[in-house]
């Protein structure tokens, strides 16, 4: 077999090696893209599940829950929590407005089923005990009164924290549990309100 002299062409093995490398690189990129699509699909599915079944972002409209929640504030509502635990006094709940279920309201629970509720000159009494409401600053109180009512079964008496600006159970009565679909749990915008809703 002749030995190639200087200047002669070497056997044509490099182009085949380059072609194989390119094919491997292309296959690697295709596989990487497939993994990225898979991960994106899983992430979107998980996000959709969380938004549909657990947490829903909502925008507060109106001033009835000030200063706890401001107009246009963005919060997350937990739609699953009341499958695991009961609604309690002090919870801020989101519900369908009983007089027009196409609208949603957000208020604070002050009375649960069986509670005797009355309001005397703005002071709320639950079972004849004055309710301490440190979430209602003096500037947000009013002097409205309400004769005593008993909260019906599976219903809740709700009030806005901004008492002088709120349309609530003083006007439309207790809210049936079937209308309540979530609990306000976390504020995320504006950033100075970032944190757990209280």
**What does the pLDDT look like over 151-169, one tens digit per residue?**
999 999 999 999 999 999 9
Confidence band, pLDDT 50/70/90 cuts, at residue 1? very low
Instruction: Domain ranges for the chain, please list them.
Output: 14-57, 60-196
Taking residues 116-132, what's their average pLDDT?
Answer: 97
HSE, side-chain direction, 13 A CA sphere, residue 195? 5
**What does the pLDDT look like over 131-152, one tens digit per residue?**
999 999 999 999 999 999 999 9
What's the fold here for domain 60-196? Umud Fragment, subunit A (2.10.109)
Spatial contact of 155 and 174, defined as CB atoms under 8 Å apart: yes
Confidence band, pLDDT 50/70/90 cuts, at residue 3? very low
Confidence band, pLDDT 50/70/90 cuts, at residue 122? very high
In the predicted structure, residue 188 carries a pLDDT above the cut 80 = yes
In the predicted structure, residue 173 carries a pLDDT above the cut 60 = yes
Give the catalytic positions in this structure: 64, 107
């Amino acid at each position: 077999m002749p030995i190639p002299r200087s200047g002669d062409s070497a056997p044509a093995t490099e182009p085949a090696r380059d072609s194989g490398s390119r094919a491997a690189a292309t296959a690697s990129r295709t596989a990487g893209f497939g993994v990225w699509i898979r991960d994106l699909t899983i992430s979107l599915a998980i996000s959709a599940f969380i938004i549909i079944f657990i947490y829903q972002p909502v925008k507060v409209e109106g001033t009835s829950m000030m200063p706890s929640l401001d107009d246009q504030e963005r919060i997350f509502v937990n739609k699953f929590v009341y499958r695991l635990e009961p609604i309690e006094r002090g919870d801020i709940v989101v519900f369908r407005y009983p007089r027009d279920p196409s609208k949603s309201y957000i208020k604070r629970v002050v009375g649960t089923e069986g509670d005797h509720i009355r309001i005397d000159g703005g002071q709320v009494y639950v079972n004849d005990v004055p309710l301490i409401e440190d979430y209602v600053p003096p500037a947000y109180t009013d002097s409205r009164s309400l004769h005593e009512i008993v909260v019906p079964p599976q219903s809740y008496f709700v009030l806005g924290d901004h008492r002088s600006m709120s349309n609530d159970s003083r006007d439309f009565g207790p809210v049936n549990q079937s209308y309540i679909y979530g609990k306000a749990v976390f504020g995320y915008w504006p950033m100075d309100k970032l944190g757990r809703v209280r």
